[in-house]
């Protein structure tokens, strides 16, 4: 190219030259004046000699043409988009040797999506610069085509390079109205307004770790431009999550992203897993609950009866002792955790508990022993749901022997000569939980006799207080059964004492009268043990047995021991006339 331009200029100069005779001094001036002119290759001129010359003729020397080299700058290399924003495009290129300026042109995308014509937007004369930040008339989310040429101006001769081109897109603006639309303990839903330039939306997330530090933003979803919400599931309860939504525009294989709209939120903390009555007395209830990860504090509420819940404590602890309570009264509690982030509280759901203060301790315990058994009785405790009886083991721990809603308890057979330590605790049941009163502890030493007599072999025991009957065969328990004995409050009571079977009969007819009422029934099994007609027999008219039915006039017998038919059949099969029957 350089060679072609040089030859062309030389040809033009040569064509314009006219040979002329000038003086020596004029020739020198002319030569000096033409020093800046480009000439063609030298050309010699000769005159035809037709006749001899009589005197010398002075002729101007032939002018020698001067060749100049015209340099055209190279096409700018590495013409790239350095950065874009929603209001600017920064372009750069490699510096071009021999260039004296750069001329940058731009074509803009119109509202119809078509590209316009190029027009010059910048000429850079300072060759120290090889980048340009274009901000004038730049709009967000638009395509722009750039063209750059290197230009050289040397002695009035201007040459330009071939053009380098590129296409850029400015960043779209961000979505508006980005917000959290729903939050639970394990998912967060975010939503945003539709953006007119969006081809897609890029949703990114930064996650808090256990130490309170955050991860870098990572893309979790790229949605279509018709989707303006995201439900992010599988999250940890009580943790902070940061979301960033970027608008992405794609056209002509070029994409641009907005800087991103941000929202910060927290999943709801988990509710405390447990809420229990840790310890209760007649005057206080100690409430305890499980620790919640990331919880700042807990709010505890209480109600009684039909009243509304009232907050009674905000605490960072996981327990609270409520001393504003009354003995044996039911209370309902609920607790929730919250996490405070940026001065805002995020709450868990509630965990509830229905419980009560402890009832008073057992009083008035009496202990009797019959044939190696301990028979305990005590005064009723107001408001108690029941009573638990435990025995102390050799290692100092307590083993429950059973619970009863009645005010008596008969132990199993104990060893004579050994001291046993028992405790009785009243309790109240609330919400499936037992709240115990103070323990009543006492010692028991049993005897092998009943009413001063020792028995062995085969015999029957009837406990009036517990309404239980036991049969021993060869000194081993053969069977036990609930019974109904004589009505407890008058002469219909079954007679305590050491008795023996006086008669045995199957079937048997029973008849009699008492207080104006009479009976005449046939039973399958009969074992009489007193002279006034008390005995053990089946009672088909009784629908159930045991408990305190004997304290009801309509259910208590006239002194006999009413027994389920299946149980009395077993006892009858092993019984004999003269067999001991001990009633206590």
Q: DSSP characters for 483-536?
A: -B-B-TTSTTSPPPEEEE--EEESSEEEEEEETTEEEEEEES-EEE-STTS-EE
Among 401, 420, 417, CA closest to 409: 401
Arithmetic mean of pLDDT, 324-329 = 90
pLDDT, greater one: 281 or 412? 412
258: tokens are 């907005």
Tell me if 140 sits within 8 A of 257, measured CB to CB: no
| Interval 341-396: pLDDT, tens | 999 999 999 999 998 899 999 999 999 999 999 999 999 999 899 999 999 999 99
pLDDT of residue 49: 43
**Residue 94: band (very low, low, confident or very high) from pLDDT cuts 50, 70, 90:** very high
Residue range 179-266 in CATH 2.40.50.140: no
Per-residue pLDDT at 433: 79
In DSSP notation, 141-178 reads T-EEEEEEEEEEEETTEEEE-PPEEEEEEPPPPPPS--
Least confident of 20-24, 111-115, 249-253, 520-524: 20-24
Cβ distance 194 to 173 under 8 Å? no
Average pLDDT over residues 305-322: 97
CATH 2.60.40.10 location in the chain:
80-169, 179-266, 275-356, 366-447
CB 145, CB 97: distance < 8 Å: no
- What pLDDT was estimated at residue 9? 36
User: HEC states along 375-412?
Assistant: EEECCCCCCCCEEEEEEECCCCCEEEEEEECCCEEECC
Element counts in the chain: helices (H) and strands (E): 3, 44
Cα distances from 447 to residues 169, 375, 417, 522, 582, in angstroms, run 104, 12, 8, 39, 15
CA angle 60, 61, 65 (to 5 degrees): 120
Q: What is the dihedral of CA 565, 571, 575, 580, to 10 degrees?
A: -110
CA distance 564 to 261: 81
The architecture that CATH gives domain 452-583 is: Beta Barrel (2.40)
State yes or no: pLDDT of 174 exceeds 70.
yes
CATH assignment of 275-356?
2.60.40.10
* Cβ neighbours, 10 Å, residue 317: 12
Q: What is the mean pLDDT of residues 398-425?
A: 97
Dihedral angle sign, alpha carbons of residues 342, 344, 346, 351:
positive
Residue 51 banded pLDDT, cuts 50, 70, 90: very low
What fold characterizes domain 366-447? Immunoglobulin-like (2.60.40)
Residue given tokens 């008339």 in the structure block: 137
pLDDT averaged over the chain?
A: 90
For residue 7, the model assigns a pLDDT of 35
Q: What is the pLDDT of residues 460-511, one digit of tens each?
A: 999 999 999 999 999 999 999 999 999 999 999 999 999 999 999 999 999 9
Q: Is the pLDDT of residue 24 over 70?
A: no
d(Cα 459, Cα 476) in Å, to the nearest integer? 10
d(CA 121, CA 146): 10
Q: Is the bond into 507 cis (omega within 30 degrees of 0)?
A: yes
More confidently predicted of 3 and 369: 369
Query: Partners of 119 in the beta sheet?
Result: 106
**Does residue 397 register a pLDDT over 80?**
yes
* Rounded Cα gap, residues 267 and 208, in angstroms: 11
Task: Supply the pLDDT for residue 136.
Answer: 97
- Mean pLDDT across the stretch 416-428? 96
Other beta carbons within 10 angstroms of residue 487's beta carbon come to: 22
pLDDT class of 62 with cuts at 50, 70, 90: low
- Residue 469 to residues 183, 410, 478, Cα–Cα distance (Å): 63, 11, 11
* Four-residue CA torsion sign, 14, 20, 23, 26: negative
Mean pLDDT, range 67-87, rounded to an integer? 93
Would you state the pLDDT for residue 296? 98
What's the pLDDT at 10?
Answer: 39
pLDDT-based confidence at 65, cuts 50/70/90? low
* 34 pLDDT more than 70: no
Under 8 Å between Cβ of 399 and 393: yes
pLDDT at 4 (0 to 100): 37
Q: What is the pLDDT of residue 434?
A: 86
Ranges of CATH 2.40.440.10 domains, the chain: 452-583
Question: Which tokens belong to 532?
Answer: 């006034």
CATH of the domain spanning 80-169, picked from 2.60.40.10, 3.20.20.450, 3.10.350.10, 3.60.21.10: 2.60.40.10
pLDDT tens for 498-510 read 999 999 999 999 9
- Which is nearest to 406 in space by CA: 468, 477, 486? 468
Residue 81 clears pLDDT 70, i.e. is over it:
yes
What is the spatial distance between Cα 179 and Cα 229, in angstroms, rounded to a whole number?
Answer: 10
pLDDT at 55 over 70: no
Mean pLDDT of 179-186: 96
Which residues have C-beta within 8 Å of that of residue 3, sequence separation ≥ 6?
A: none
Tell me whether residue 394 is exposed, middle or buried, using C-beta atoms within 10 angstroms of its C-beta: 0 to 12, 13 to 18, 19 or more.
exposed
pLDDT of 155 > 90? The answer is no
Question: For residues 303 and 314, what is the distance between their CA atoms, to the nearest angstrom?
Answer: 16
pLDDT tens-digit profile of 559-578? 999 999 999 999 999 999 99
- Among the ranges given (22-26, 83-87, 128-132, 322-326), the one the predictor scored with the smallest mean pLDDT: 22-26
For residues 473 and 253, what is the distance between their CA atoms, to the nearest angstrom? 100
Tell me the pLDDT band of 217, cut-offs 50, 70 and 90: very high
């Amino acid at each position: 190219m350089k060679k072609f331009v040089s030859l062309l200029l030389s040809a033009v100069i040569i064509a314009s030259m006219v040979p002329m005779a000038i003086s020596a001094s004029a020739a020198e001036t002319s030569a000096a004046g033409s020093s800046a002119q480009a000439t063609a290759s030298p050309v010699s001129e000769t005159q035809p000699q037709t006749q001899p010359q009589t005197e010398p003729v002075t002729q101007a020397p032939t002018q020698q043409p001067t060749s100049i080299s015209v340099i055209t700058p190279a096409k700018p290399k590495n013409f790239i988009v350095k950065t874009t924003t929603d209001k600017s495009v920064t372009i750069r290129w490699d510096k071009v040797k021999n260039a004296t300026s750069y001329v940058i042109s731009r074509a803009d995308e119109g509202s119809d999506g078509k590209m316009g014509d190029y027009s010059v937007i910048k000429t850079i004369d300072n060759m120290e610069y090889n980048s340009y930040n274009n901000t004038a008339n730049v709009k967000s989310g638009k395509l722009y085509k750039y063209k750059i040429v290197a230009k050289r101006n040397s002695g009035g001769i201007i040459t330009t390079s071939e053009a380098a081109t590129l296409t850029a897109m400015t960043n779209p603006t961000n979505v508006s109205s980005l917000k959290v639309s729903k939050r639970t303990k394990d998912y967060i839903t975010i939503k945003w307004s539709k953006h007119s330039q969006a081809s897609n939306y890029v949703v990114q997330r930064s996650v808090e770790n256990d130490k309170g530090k955050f991860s870098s933003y990572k893309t979790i979803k790229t949605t279509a431009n018709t989707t303006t919400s995201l439900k992010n599931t599988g999250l940890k309860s009580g943790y902070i999550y940061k979301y960033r939504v970027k608008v992405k525009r794609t056209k002509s294989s070029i994409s641009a992203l907005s800087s991103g709209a941000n929202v910060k939120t927290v999943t709801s903390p988990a509710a405390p897993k447990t809420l229990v009555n840790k310890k209760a007395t007649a005057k206080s209830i100690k409430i305890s609950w499980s620790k919640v990860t990331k919880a700042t504090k807990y709010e505890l509420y209480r109600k009684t009866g039909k009243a509304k819940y009232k907050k009674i404590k905000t605490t960072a602890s996981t327990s609270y002792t409520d001393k504003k309570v009354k003995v044996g009264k039911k209370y309902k509690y609920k607790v929730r955790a919250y996490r405070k982030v940026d001065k805002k509280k995020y709450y868990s759901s509630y965990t509830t508990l229905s419980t009560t203060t402890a009832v008073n301790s057992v009083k008035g315990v009496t202990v009797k022993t019959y044939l190696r058994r301990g028979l305990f009785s005590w005064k009723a405790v107001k408001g108690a749901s029941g009573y638990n009886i435990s025995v102390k083991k050799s290692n100092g721990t307590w083993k429950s022997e059973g619970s009863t809603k009645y005010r008596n308890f008969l132990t199993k057979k104990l060893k004579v000569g050994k001291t046993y330590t028992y405790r009785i605790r009243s309790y109240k049941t609330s919400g499936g939980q037992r709240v115990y009163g103070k323990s009543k502890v006492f010692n028991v030493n049993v005897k092998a006799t009943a009413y001063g007599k020792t028995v062995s072999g085969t015999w029957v025991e009837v406990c009036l207080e517990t309404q239980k009957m036991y049969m021993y065969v060869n000194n081993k328990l053969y069977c036990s059964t609930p019974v109904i004995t004589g009505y407890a409050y008058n002469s219909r009571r079954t007679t305590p004492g050491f008795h023996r079977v006086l008669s045995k009969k199957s079937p048997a007819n029973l008849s009699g009268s008492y207080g104006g009422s009479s009976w005449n029934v046939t039973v399958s099994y009969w074992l009489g043990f007193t002279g006034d007609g008390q005995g053990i027999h089946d009672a088909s008219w009784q629908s159930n047995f045991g408990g305190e039915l004997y304290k009801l006039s309509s259910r208590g017998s006239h002194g006999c021991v009413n027994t389920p038919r299946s149980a009395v059949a077993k006892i009858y099969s092993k019984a004999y006339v003269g067999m001991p029957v001990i009633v206590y």
